[in-house]
């Protein structure tokens, strides 16, 4: 299981939890499992989030590997200029 840390605005879609355990070996797989477990997160994930794995924000994260020991955070994607 991989633990994903959620920012405060997402907790209402995850039964008030700030961390959720999911299955997967890549960022894409854990995001898909997160949406499977908490469907209310689907629109937010689809709109785009930033993902930090072990302290590094990954721009094209879906194929990035994760392990049970990875520290994963979902972050609001900043837009604009």
Do the domain assignments include residue 81? Answer: no
* Domain CATH number, residue 58: 3.10.20.30
Please tell me the predicted confidence (pLDDT) of residue 79.
65
Rg (CA), the chain: 12
DSSP class per residue in the chain: -EEEE--GGGGGGTTT-SEEEE--SBHHHHHHHHHHH-GGGHHHHHH-EEEEETTEEETTGGG-B--TT--EEEEEPP---
Residue span of the structural domain in which 56 resides: 2-76
Worst-scoring range by mean pLDDT, 6-10, 45-49, 74-78?
A: 74-78
Asked if residue 49 lies in contact with residue 57, where contact means CB atoms within 8 angstroms, the answer is: no
pLDDT tens track for 34-75: 999 999 999 999 998 999 999 999 887 899 999 999 999 999
Domain count, the chain: 1
Taking residues 23-38, report their average pLDDT: 97
Do the domain assignments include residue 62? Answer: yes
Model pTM score: 0.90
């Amino acid at each position: 299981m991989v633990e994903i840390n959620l920012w405060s605005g997402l907790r209402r879609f995850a039964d008030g939890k700030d961390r959720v355990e999911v299955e997967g070996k890549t960022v894409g797989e854990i995001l898909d499992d997160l949406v499977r477990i908490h469907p209310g997160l689907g629109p937010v994930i689809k709109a785009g989030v930033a993902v930090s794995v072990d302290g590094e924000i990954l721009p094209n994260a879906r194929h990035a590997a994760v392990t049970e020991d990875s520290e994963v955070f979902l972050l609001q994607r900043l837009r604009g200029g």
